[in-house]
Amino acid sequence: MNKRQPAVKHRHGTLLASNLRLLYNLFTYRIAVMDRDPMPRLLQRGTPIVPTAKVSTVKFLSEGVFELVLERDGVGFRPGDCVAISNSDGVSRPYSVSSSIDEPYLRFVIRRMPGGAVSEWLAVRAPGDEVEISLPFGWFRPGQSGEPGDPSVLVATGTGIAPFLSALRSFPDFSPVLCLYGVRCLADAVGLDYLRGRCPLKLCVSREEAPPHHHGRITDLLNEIPRNEETNYYLCGLDAMINGVSEWLEHRGVHFTHIHREVFFNAREDQ
């Protein structure tokens, strides 16, 4: 997630990034006592609740999107987890992990926001710099439904592809039936070759023509989404897209418990 005070909308209200510290402490406790076996090394050795991590690389993938790679140092996470990263003034933003659970790094796909307090600062970090991070937290779990075969449809806009990259990299047997991926410009699309090799992919480019890809938005292609009672639908990115796709699915009989949402951006702020 990368935006000023992103609103996380769901069926029971709105969560704001201003509550991040409290939320992350609660999730850290839940992770430590329920979800981790074994517990993360950072917790086992009694380090502070807000550790630091060293920058390995910062690599620009396009003019406005970059990959931040941090040394993992034993931090445990599950695909779909976020990490709050702070700048030198202590201002933090949550970003979803895009790396595999088996690699020694924490990877993040970040959009550089003009004037962004954290993304602008992270974009100019150098190898060896230290950044303050939270322990991973979250509730978005692509590829982890526990159902036989885990039939899944992935729908992402922008850097919302990050948790899906993490799930695909972590679980070789995870084979989504479709990935719909929307970006503004073709250059902003991350990991296209990898995604094509892992699942059927349809790319939508909204602000330029990029044949053979669809020129327009994800919502133009909703009729191509397979619908049945067993499929889980994972939606990540812009809130307007998530709300629109969720309503479309529910109106066609998909139960809301099979629609999993992770909001990165608010449409009003993303102009």
* Residue range 78-109, pLDDT digits in tens: 999 999 999 999 999 999 999 999 999 999 99
**Greatest CA separation for the chain:** 53
Higher pLDDT, 40 or 66: 66
Listed range (25-39, 49-63, 157-171, 238-252) with the worst mean pLDDT? 25-39
197, 81: one domain: no
Secondary structure letter of residue 138 according to DSSP: -
Predicted confidence at residue 14, as pLDDT, reads: 39
Mean pLDDT of the chain: 84
Residue at a domain's end among 133, 168, 188:
133
Residue at a domain's end among 106, 133, 160:
133
CB 49 within 8 A of CB 86: no
Number of domains in the chain: 2
Task: Assess if residue 144 is contained within a domain.
Answer: no
253, 159: one domain: yes
Predicted confidence at residue 16, as pLDDT, reads: 43
Instruction: Tell me: pLDDT of 268 over 80.
Output: no
Residue at a domain's end among 88, 103, 133:
133
Predicted confidence at residue 105, as pLDDT, reads: 97
189, 225: one domain: yes
Tell whether the torsion through CA atoms of 30, 33, 39 and 41 is positive or negative: positive
20, 129: one domain: yes
Listed range (42-46, 109-113, 196-200, 237-241) with the worst mean pLDDT? 42-46
125, 220: one domain: no
Secondary structure letter of residue 149 according to DSSP: T
| pLDDT-based confidence at residue 264 (cuts at 50, 70, 90) | confident
Alpha-carbon span 127 to 69, nearest angstrom: 9
Q: Which domain holds residue 244?
A: 152-265
Tell whether the torsion through CA atoms of 140, 146, 147 and 151 is positive or negative: positive
Structure-block tokens of residue 97: 């992990």
Q: What is the CATH number for 61?
A: 2.40.30.10
Task: Assess if residue 2 is contained within a domain.
Answer: no
SS3 label, residue 110: strand
SS3 label, residue 21: helix
205, 261: one domain: yes
Task: Assess if residue 52 is contained within a domain.
Answer: yes
Taking Cα atoms as reference points, which of 193, 194, 218, 190 lies closest to residue 204? 218
Instruction: Tell me: pLDDT of 131 over 50.
Output: yes
Task: Assess if residue 18 is contained within a domain.
Answer: yes
Q: Burial level of 265, CB count in 10 A (0-12/13-18/19+)?
A: buried
259, 157: one domain: yes
Task: Assess if residue 139 is contained within a domain.
Answer: no
221, 111: one domain: no
Task: Assess if residue 141 is contained within a domain.
Answer: no
pLDDT (tens digit per residue) in 236-251 = 999 999 999 999 999 9
Angle (nearest 5°) at CA 136 between 144 and 171: 30
Give the pLDDT mean for 209-225.
Answer: 95
Instruction: Tell me: pLDDT of 15 over 90.
Output: no
111, 213: one domain: no
Alpha-carbon span 271 to 183, nearest angstrom: 14
